Amino acid sequence: MMPLSMVGAGEENTIQRIGGNEETRRFLETLGFVVGGKVTVVSQTEGNLIVNIKESRVAIGKDMANKIMV
């Protein structure tokens, strides 16, 4: 298991765990980041990520990406 921020572009991964406080987990869940979901990193710039999740593209910061374990 490793944080989403360390995954290479183009690799599809399965979300294993989501860390952070309740508010953070709820926010990520509304974006589609749920345990068992598939996520693919599209690009990474200065630690910020653009990912495909549930057929949508979402931009997240490095701090949020570090809370998503794949």
Per-position DSSP letters for 10-60, written without gaps between them: T-EEE--EE-S-HHHHHHHHHHT--TT-EEEEEEEETTEEEEEETTEEEEE
Q: What is the pLDDT of residue 46?
A: 87
Tell me: the pLDDT tens digits for 28-67?
A: 999 999 999 999 999 998 889 999 998 899 999 999 999 9
Tokens of 37: 């979901």
Q: What is the pLDDT of residue 10?
A: 92
Mean pLDDT to the nearest integer, 4-16: 92
Indicate if the pLDDT at residue 11 is higher than 90. no
